[in-house]
Amino acid sequence: IKAETLAEKNLIYNTSECDQITELSSILSESRFNEVQARLRSAGMRSGFCCIFYGAPGTGKTETVYQLARQTGRDIMRVDVDKIKSCWVGESEKNIKALFDRYRNICKNSKLAPILLFNEADAVLGVRMEGVARAVDKMENSIQNIILQEMETLEGIMIATTNLTTNLDKAFERRFLYKIRFDKPSVESRAKIWQTMLPDLSEHDAHILASQFDLSGGEIENIARKHSVNAILKGNDSIDVHEIINSCRHERLSQNNRPKIGF
């Protein structure tokens, strides 16, 4: 994914996430990154940057990678793990090795090292299994071992995104230099997201929606998109707050997002 094709998007973070992402963005800038890598090499340390963004779905992990790439002018080599896996014995291991070989070649021929993005990497970051007998389990362990070895010698930038929060293999945990947890947005952050997604929404209504519905940024964006579709169908751009409320109530299939008493 070319950096120049990435659209700018205003992401709203909680304070702790914002500070860490701002710091990472600064480090990944061309001049600062070269300086940091040179210092690490002179100290005999690994110069590669491996980061993990983890937390609940819809909290902006993948979009944050896109925005970091856009801000720092770095292309993205996106990896969808499921597409690498093969039903043929040994093919998955060859695919993952070829992936890292390709990334190394791209880095050698690029002014800026691209970001190697392992998106939704839950399948390869879990605890490795011991005493496995099934071929598929052996394959999973082999893939994990190859990735761990490659992370040791990586000279570029690798970012993994995952919803995994409790079952991360300790070997992976040690190799990630930056570990940024993406929490559900606070009430204040949700209100800002509502107003970013629906600029015509009043500050008062945005705060009420944020207070009563514990939605992620992705869920709020989904509702905003639904509003845009309805506006086209009805030929009316005005915001019907009751319609937005109804959309909030039905956003989650589990129906566990009912508003608090007193809405």
Instruction: Pick the closest to residue 213 from 184, 239, 238, 240 (CA basis).
Output: 184
The verdict on 79 and 208 lying in the same domain is no
- pLDDT at residue 257 above 70? no
What is the pLDDT, as a whole number, of residue 165? 66
Which CATH number characterizes residue 222's domain?
A: 1.10.8
- pLDDT at residue 254 above 80? no
Which CATH number characterizes residue 116's domain?
A: 3.40.50.300
Mean pLDDT for the stretch of residues 12-32: 92
**Dihedral Cα 239, 243, 248, 249, nearest 10 deg:** 170
Instruction: Pick the closest to residue 72 from 37, 113, 40, 102 (CA basis).
Output: 113
Predicted TM-score (pTM) of the model is 0.83
CA–CA separation, 32 and 210 (whole Å): 38
The verdict on 125 and 205 lying in the same domain is no
Q: What is the pLDDT of residues 111-137, one digit of tens each?
A: 899 999 998 887 777 665 565 556 566
The verdict on 138 and 192 lying in the same domain is no
The verdict on 26 and 116 lying in the same domain is yes
Domain that holds residue 201: 187-249
The verdict on 90 and 207 lying in the same domain is no
Q: pLDDT over 70 for what percent of the chain?
A: 89
Structure-block tokens of residue 69: 């790439």
Indicate whether 215 belongs to any domain.
yes
The verdict on 84 and 123 lying in the same domain is yes
What is the pLDDT, as a whole number, of residue 156? 93
The verdict on 114 and 41 lying in the same domain is yes
The verdict on 109 and 175 lying in the same domain is yes
The verdict on 156 and 124 lying in the same domain is yes
pLDDT, averaged across the chain: 86
- The total number of structural domains that make up the chain: 2
- pLDDT at residue 74 above 70? yes
Mean pLDDT for the stretch of residues 248-261: 65
What is the pLDDT, as a whole number, of residue 167? 73
Mean pLDDT for the stretch of residues 8-22: 91
Q: What is the pLDDT of residues 172-196, one digit of tens each?
A: 888 899 999 999 899 999 999 999 9
The verdict on 25 and 134 lying in the same domain is yes
**Dihedral Cα 26, 31, 36, 42, nearest 10 deg:** 180
Indicate whether 257 belongs to any domain.
no
Indicate whether 115 belongs to any domain.
yes
Reduce the DSSP state of residue 251 to 3 states and report it: coil
Indicate whether 176 belongs to any domain.
yes
